[in-house]
Structure 1
């Protein structure tokens, strides 16, 4: 009889919370509309790939060899060649950011190439943006190496080199940054629903004074917490399903791991995010403060310190240590493994265990602090 009454109370709380969600369009927007917008923005508008790099070409003396090398830059999808009459003109264009770098083929380019006693060309790159400079240098080196091998092969019947290097790229052979960005963006979407929305739940009840009305009823703390968490858990998993569907169909991101492992790990991360959001809400009792704290402690770290955009191994040691406190770090590692590599259990299990520990910790603290405040 008591279990049946508890069941009815829980259903009543769930119905009340669902009505609140439906009456507040912002909850639906954060759960479904905002993830779609972020996916479209990052999937189509943001790219870590360098394409159409503006490269200047200075040919001091036209020759067959120089024309052949220039054709390599013209045919490459990475370059947008622009021609200059002199080094000074190219240097001026580089200073004005009209080009990203330039290559000088001197008047004796063909002779020095035949002599092979020194490098017959010069490449100058704008190093203001270090990442773009490295990519530009690597692409120039790639075009040069490909052309040089072809040039040497035409001069003799034998192989141009005793050993030919053959490059093979694992896990993301197309080198599409979209395959790397979209799985990480799923973490950001779930953080929005899990932490940001739930951070406002209990704070809203405190501000409106409706929590006191609940306390005079036979409703238990466990039923209150479940009534608050389950609707947003359903919203979070619904938003996750929509995001995964878009990743697979719209952006053609491969899912090489198990779909059910993805679902299980998503549940663990969502529970951790819900627990953290609920904990913030219980402690602050103010919607504005709770929202600001949730943004600073969950949303921004999910962007900056999770490995979604920036490599954690490149961060200072102190910052690397801080990232171990962020649940998004573990979920990003899981998603990138499942989407691009497959079921690599040596990576999935430790990160899933960390998410489970965080979920238990945050939900346990939420239950404990709610009880203390009410007593």
Structure 2
């Protein structure tokens, strides 16, 4: 074999493969756009740091010492404070996840400081054990630093102005991380199963040529969407039951909300996930393309940007806005509240209303992708 002929053939093959790659838009997108998407997603989505701990401070009696306490908390770059005039108001705020902790300052705080020993009560939102443990350290550090600086300025021994922070964990008294993770895992499972079950349906029929056979029948797009959804919706219902049984009996996660609220929200999100996969399948040109888009549009954002592991408040503002567009974010917040805090019907109506909006949008997209025309 002459070397010159080898290189001639190799050059021809390279030219052919390069042209084929340039014509294949999906491969180009995966090769060029996927790395960019992943580096941005992981770079901005992965953060174990607490950069915006929201602390509600209940001051039962204002004094120079309590003002000094507030100044110390505000002096920390990791904390932001919100003052409340009474405890029930702060309690409602932590239940609605408006704040991450309550710092309760008693009426005797100023007198206790003067006697050299003061106690504060810190109530932590245990729905996220990582945030709670970090927040406890930041609050205690900010308070001790503030009073130590003041004692140093007045030439007072640090031991004569000691402040003790007594902490309690709400919604997760044992501090068990599985209480926080298992409800989130249910969301991820429904996202993965729902989107991937239906992501290949229409793309598979398009590749096999059976979709065109449906176009000559009087079947309408909405009827096709419903017919394709129902069998997989039944499978998804069984998955929900299995997940709830496992969370309660195997992992011993409390279900403080009603079963009706949890099942209703889960079925609504399952429908959204199935419709997302079906819409992707209708828009994709191949099964491979549909599977890649389903991975990027469903599972990856659900894992990184929904609040499953990392607190959304710690992400950049732009990423927070993007996370609020995802249906997974709304269901994640709702399911954790239902499991650990109990029924919150205002939150349930709000989040399920948003999920219903996604059902309408995705149903419309899926029907549009099934118009009776050949591509």
Question: What TM-score comes out, normalization by structure 1 length?
Answer: 0.56
- Map of 2:173 onto structure 1: 173
How far off is 1:218 after superposition?
3.7
How far off is 1:270 after superposition?
1.2
Q: Cα deviations across residues 169-224 of structure 1 (Å, max 9, x unaligned)?
A: 21111111100000001011001121112110110110111111222234332332
- Map of 1:324 onto structure 2: 324
C-alpha distance in 1 between matches for 2:219 and 2:362: 22
Change (3 A) 1:275 1:164: same
Q: Cα deviations across residues 133-160 of structure 1 (Å, max 9, x unaligned)?
A: x86x959x99xx9xxxxxxxxxxxxxx9
C-alpha distance in 2 between matches for 1:232 and 1:186: 17
Tell me if structure 1 keeps the 8 A contact 2:215–2:372. no
Change (3 A) 1:216 1:356: same
1:276 aligns with 2:276: yes
Change (3 A) 1:269 1:373: farther
- Map of 1:351 onto structure 2: 351
Q: Cα deviations across residues 286-318 of structure 1 (Å, max 9, x unaligned)?
A: 100000000001000110000001100000000
C-alpha distance in 2 between matches for 1:347 and 1:372: 40
- Map of 1:288 onto structure 2: 288
C-alpha distance in 2 between matches for 1:188 and 1:162: 46
C-alpha distance in 1 between matches for 2:164 and 2:302: 42
C-alpha distance in 2 between matches for 1:164 and 1:283: 60
Give the secondary-structure state (helix, strand or coil) at the position aligned to 1:167. Answer: strand
5+ unaligned residues in a row in structure 1: which ranges? 1-47, 49-115, 117-130, 146-159
How does 1:136-285 map onto structure 2 within 5 Å? 138=137, 165-285=165-285
How far off is 1:373 after superposition?
4.2
Give the secondary-structure state (helix, strand or coil) at the position aligned to 1:255. Answer: coil
How far off is 1:165 after superposition?
4.9
**Stretch deviating more after TM superposition (294-303 or 234-243):** 234-243
- Map of 1:15 onto structure 2: none
5+ unaligned residues in a row in structure 2: which ranges? 1-47, 49-115, 117-129, 145-159
C-alpha distance in 2 between matches for 1:313 and 1:373: 46
Give the secondary-structure state (helix, strand or coil) at the position aligned to 2:169. Answer: coil
Give the secondary-structure state (helix, strand or coil) at the position aligned to 1:226. Answer: helix
Q: Cα deviations across residues 297-344 of structure 1 (Å, max 9, x unaligned)?
A: 100011000000110000000000001111110111111001000011
1:311 aligns with 2:311: yes
- Map of 2:341 onto structure 1: 341
How far off is 1:347 after superposition?
2.3
Tell me if structure 1 keeps the 8 A contact 2:275–2:363. yes
C-alpha distance in 2 between matches for 1:374 and 1:344: 48
Change (3 A) 1:373 1:332: farther
Tell me if structure 1 keeps the 8 A contact 2:261–2:348. no
- Map of 1:112 onto structure 2: none
C-alpha distance in 1 between matches for 2:212 and 2:363: 21
How far off is 1:368 after superposition?
2.3
Misfit runs of 4+, over 6 Å: 160-164
C-alpha distance in 2 between matches for 1:168 and 1:361: 43
